[in-house]
Amino acid sequence: MSDLFEFFKENESKLHEAPPAQVWNKLEEKLEKRKRRTRRGIRFLQLGYVIVAVLLLLVIAFLVVRYLR
């Protein structure tokens, strides 16, 4: 465990280095693309869950009405 602490102490100056602006811009672009995809996927899944729930309720209602007669 002390080796790990020594490693960080020796390389502490490297922790404060900032990457070039181009790197940050590329990273932000990738994150925005992923964020857009995720939102669409979540909306689609939510709509799917609602449709499945409504169909399940309709099937249960049909079976209850049919067998209670």
- Per-residue pLDDT band at 61 (split at 50, 70, 90): very high
**The pLDDT of residue 57:** 96
Rounded to the nearest integer, the mean pLDDT of the chain is 84
Query: How far is it, in rounded angstroms, from Cα 44 to Cα 54?
Result: 16
The residue ranking higher by pLDDT, 35 or 49, is 49
Query: How far is it, in rounded angstroms, from Cα 48 to Cα 46?
Result: 5
- Per-residue pLDDT band at 39 (split at 50, 70, 90): low
Q: Domain boundaries in the chain?
A: 19-68
Query: How far is it, in rounded angstroms, from Cα 61 to Cα 53?
Result: 12
Taking 80 as the threshold, does the pLDDT of residue 36 lie above it? no
Which position has the token pair 């169909």? 55
CA-based nearest residue to 41, from 51, 53, 49, 30: 49
